[in-house]
Amino acid sequence: MDWVQWIVAGLMAIAIWFVYFTCRKRITNWETFKKYRRKPAIFIFWHGRSMMLSPIVCLGGMRAYAVASRHKDGRMMAKLQRLFGLKSIYGSTSDGGISVLRQGVRVLRRGDYSMCMSPDGPGGPSLRVQDGALYFAKMTGAPIIPVCYSASHAWFQKRWDRYLVALPFSLITCKVGKPIFVDSKINATEFEALRKKVEDIMVRQVREMDGEFNLFQVEQDLKSSEFKKNLRAQRDAARAKKKTQPRK
């Protein structure tokens, strides 16, 4: 029921505000945030790093739309976003992707709103930048701005995105990255190279920030993922080599 979702969203908002106001904050490159908070820009953050960004965005006076899933959980999160001053665009890469693209382009072309989105949402794979944000940037000229947060005391939820829950009385660090622009005439090869560059920047962000507080869950996941990827690549190379060898 709709009113139940509003109650749950309200309780979540109260909990987030409580944690935020009991914590110390250190924000890097705040000037970029202030420059683009009410202009066409695409602020991107990992799906598991949204908790403490909500109050920062709210108190920072951002005027923005956030992408939310059409599913039940997504609609509840849209209500939570609303309590922090964000409007919602419904859809995802797997559900209503074209609709989201059209809505997002329309929002950015208005000239007075930015967008917030998780490039690895709504269902992963974790820490993998999908194409959506780059398409928005390519079609509108709006810059992509990577954002990340970490906390000195936190725990990771056991879910696909390793959602980071900051604990009260922590030190919260937030880093706003440099704007990244996408040429409207970029070809497919250049597009993929830029997508990988954005992904590398965001992975480096989270590694450095978590490393400061000795939080190694994401680092362990990345190493495990890289190991599996390298193992698959070695197997594929071995199979390809075997096929090219002449039969005796």
Q: Domain spans of the chain?
A: 2-215
Q: Exposure string (b/e) for 181-198, b if CB count within 10 Å is 16 or more?
A: ebeeeeeeeebeebbeeb
Distance between CA 94 and CA 131 in Å, rounded? 12
Distance between CA 43 and CA 48 in Å, rounded? 15
Tell me the pLDDT band of 243, cut-offs 50, 70 and 90. low
Tell me the pLDDT band of 70, cut-offs 50, 70 and 90. confident
Tell me the pLDDT band of 37, cut-offs 50, 70 and 90. very high
The amino acid at residue 200 is: D
The pLDDT of residue 234 is above 70: no
- Predicted local distance difference test score (pLDDT) of residue 248: 47
Out of 88-92, 101-105, 164-168, give the one with best mean pLDDT.
Answer: 164-168
Q: Which CA distances in Å does 182 have to 2, 5, 155, 197?
A: 39, 38, 35, 12
Distance between CA 5 and CA 14 in Å, rounded? 14
Range in 109-118, 167-176, 214-223 the model is least confident about: 214-223
Across the range 83-87, mean pLDDT stands at 96
Which pTM was predicted? 0.87
DSSP label at 214? Answer: T
Q: Which CA distances in Å does 229 have to 6, 21, 129, 224, 236?
A: 42, 41, 16, 9, 11
Mean pLDDT of the chain: 90
- Within 8 A by CB and 6+ apart from 132, the residues are 67, 93, 97, 100, 101, 117, 119
- Predicted local distance difference test score (pLDDT) of residue 241: 62
Distance between CA 45 and CA 203 in Å, rounded? 10
Tell me the pLDDT band of 218, cut-offs 50, 70 and 90. confident
Distance between CA 121 and CA 45 in Å, rounded? 10
Q: Which residue has the tokens 């967008």?
A: 115
3-state secondary structure of 196: helix
- Predicted local distance difference test score (pLDDT) of residue 91: 74
Domain 2-215 superfamily per CATH:
Glycerol-3-phosphate (1)-acyltransferase (3.40.1130.10)
Distance between CA 48 and CA 243 in Å, rounded? 42
- Predicted local distance difference test score (pLDDT) of residue 97: 75
Q: What is the pLDDT of residues 107-125, one digit of tens each?
A: 999 999 999 999 997 778 8
Q: Are 159 and 165 in contact (CB under 8 A)?
A: no
